[in-house]
Amino acid sequence: MHKRLQALGRLKPGAMNKTEAAYAEHLGQRQQAGEIAWFKFEGVKLRLADNTFYSPDFAVMLVNGELEIHEVKGFWLDDARAKIKIAADMYPFRFVAMRARPKKDGGGWAIEEF
C-alpha cells in the first residue's frame, strides 16, 4: 500500500500540463498551416554531463529541416533555466522558451531565445 510520492505540480513523464497541451494545439495549427513539418512532446533527451540530462518539452522540425527545441513555461523552477542555457551552448539547435501571454495582454505566446 505504499504510494510513490511525487512533487506537487509535477506530472508523470509523457503527461502534458495545461500550458503544454495548449502549446501542442498551437503547434498542430502551425503544422496544418505548413509552417512546421513535425513536432514531438518529450521527443529528445540531451546529455549535458555524466548523469545530467535535459529533456525539453518539444522538438520541432521546421519545413526547411531545421530542428528547434521548445520549452514551455508558466514559470521557471529548479535548474531548468541553467539546463536550457547549457544545452544551447552545447547543441546546434535553436532553443526557445514559450510562455503563454494572458488574454488581457493579447494572448499568444511570448518567446525567449537562448
Q: What is the pLDDT of residue 4?
A: 52
Which CB contacts under 8 angstroms, 24+ apart, belong to 47-56? 48/83, 48/86, 48/87, 48/90, 54/83, 54/84, 54/86, 54/87, 55/13, 56/84, 56/87, 56/95
Q: What is the pLDDT of residue 9?
A: 56
| Overall CATH class of domain 18-113 | alpha beta
Domain spans, the chain: 18-113
Total-model pTM: 0.85
User: What is the full per-residue pLDDT of the chain (114 aa) written as tens digits?
Assistant: 555 544 555 667 779 999 999 999 999 999 999 999 999 999 999 999 999 999 999 999 999 999 999 999 988 876 889 999 999 999 999 999 999 998 999 999 999 999
